[in-house]
Amino acid sequence: GNSVTQMEGPVTLSEEAFLTINCTYTATGYPSLFWYVQYPGEGLQLLLKATKADDKGSNKGFEATYRKETTSFHLEKGSVQVSDSAVYFCALSDVSLDTGNQFYFGTGTSLTVIP
Amino acid sequence: NAGVTQTPKFQVLKTGQSMTLQCAQDMNHEYMSWYRQDPGMGLRLIHYSVGAGITDQGEVPNGYNVSRSTTEDFPLRLLSAAPSQTSVYFCASSSTGTRRNGYTFGSGTRLTVV
């Protein structure tokens, strides 16, 4: 079946530090991969996506590369800011005979950036 | 602004009460879903719809009903609230399937059942 596993948090970093949040997946087909961000008290916002192997998604200084050989989609940012403090969700969408298009989320990783 | 609108933002219910969480989108999206978010468990799919008149169960459907009479609206009904349904509920929508476009999420409804 389909599933997403992401590193557990919480993660605390100093401003301007390098960020990596690991995400690995299992999928039966050819999934698309996403990173969502949730700021306190808000809904989830799409941060970036990649729809096929070797694609790199990027947005707001964040990037992630779809690695089929390692079934990974790790999120990285070279220099985090206090405003990046949020919960980050890795997600997968795929097509199955039973459920059609479906979305599968990781459990989320909380990031706190301190000045 | 276009998007997904959820109401109410906060709600407190007594055990056994019923209520409806509203969700509306103005983007003409075919796909709509309801998720609940609980600490340490990420988002779990409750029900989803691939178009008006079509709904199906997700991972945790028990205690919830949905209907999709129009493309725009996808209400979630709690039939008899239980403390285990205390959670944050998110509605989401997507066009032409989630596979390439991902979901647009509402801002959530925080529900407490006492």
The 10s digit of each residue's pLDDT in B41-74 is 788 999 999 889 999 999 899 999 999 999 999 9
Question: Do the beta carbons of residue B31 and residue B97 sit within 8 Å?
Answer: yes
Question: Who's near A115: CB < 8 A, 6+ residues apart?
Answer: A14, A15, A82
Q: Do A103 and B41 touch (CB under 8 A)?
A: no
**Total residues belonging to chain B:** 114
Q: Do B99 and A44 touch (CB under 8 A)?
A: no
Provide the token pair at A101: 């298009």
Whether the pLDDT of residue A102 is over 80: the answer is no
Whether the pLDDT of residue A100 is over 70: the answer is no
- B101's enclosing H/E stretch is helix B98-101
What share of chain B has pLDDT > 70, as a percent?
Answer: 96
Tell the burial category of A87 from Cβ atoms under 10 Å away from its Cβ (0-12, 13-18, 19+): buried
Q: Is residue A108 classed as helix, strand or coil in its secondary structure?
A: coil
pLDDT band at A98 (very low <50, low <70, confident <90, very high): low
- Best A23, A93, A96 residue to mutate vs chain B (most B CBs within 10 Å): A93
